[in-house]
Amino acid sequence: MKTAVTITQVPTLSKGPWIYRDDIDVSIPKAMAAGFDAVELYPASAEAVEVDRLTRLLEQYQLKVSAIGSGAGKALHGLHLAGQDEALRLKARAFIAGLIDVAAGFRAPVIIGSMQGSSDLGKGVTHDQALEWLREALNELGVRAGTQGVKLILEPLNRYETDSLNCLADGMTMIRSLSTDSVVLLADLFHLNIEEASLPAAIRAAKGYIGYVHLADSNRRPAGLGHIDFQAVFEALKDIGYDGYISVEALPYPDPDLAAAQTISACRALGIVR
């Protein structure tokens, strides 16, 4: 398994669960010094990604892009894939399509979390209708990702953030209904700790579907500062043959540098890094 750390590039979203909030000129060197293999980026839009500068920094500090998050589409622009307004749904697809095109240049996937939307966000939109709109979007965007050799990552979120996909089983049901094979699941341990009866059991049941992991403890602080049994979780990940990224999407508690150090320490104790 490889490690990654989150960097938000949107100052107005700096209170979210991202370890680094400074410009990439500062954050990428810090990620390398802390011992991470890659960075997970949260840009304001595809157009906001400075590809040449990012490429230069990645080469200089020998890091990869593990994934690009699409959350700013909802948080900044009010876009999601399950709203009643067709024009806004199309804008949401275009927003994610742009990120796919940028991410593909770094051989990285795009994450769809909050942009999956919720039936509660559209007046008169039923749960089944919201899921159908989400399915249509995932089929279209999955093809776009697949033709460029990357994946689209679908992230179930806890019940307080969406009523679309809340657990790994929900995500598997959605993926099985798609006509594209370019969509995989993100197992976010913070969200799953809320929704799953057993994290290890849910992970084992999702063998073959999980393509990315978000690492955070039960209180959204770095691993080891809450009550999740990470030894059992990572035994389950090893059992299903998972060898992808373990990306820390946690609050920078008590500060970014100490949060990064705590994460690497926890990963070392789990045998993920040496």
Residues with catalytic roles: 155, 249
Closest CA to 209 of 264, 168, 267: 168
Burial class of residue 3, CB neighbours in 10 A (0-12, 13-18, 19+): buried
Cβ atoms within 10 A of the Cβ of 34, count?
19
Q: Cis omega (within 30 of 0) on the bond before 254?
A: yes
Which helix (H) or strand (E) covers residue 213, if one does?
Answer: strand 210-215
- Written as six digits, the tokens of 85 are 């307004």
CA atoms 115, 25, 103, 170: torsion sign = negative
Calculated CA dihedral for residues 216, 45, 168, 207, nearest 10 degrees: -90
The DSSP letter of residue 115 is G
Question: Residue type for 212, please?
Answer: Y
Strands 183-188 and 64-69: unpaired
Question: Under a CB-based contact definition with an 8 Å cutoff, are residues 28 and 67 in contact?
Answer: no
The residues near 198 (Cβ < 8 Å, ≥ 6 apart) are none
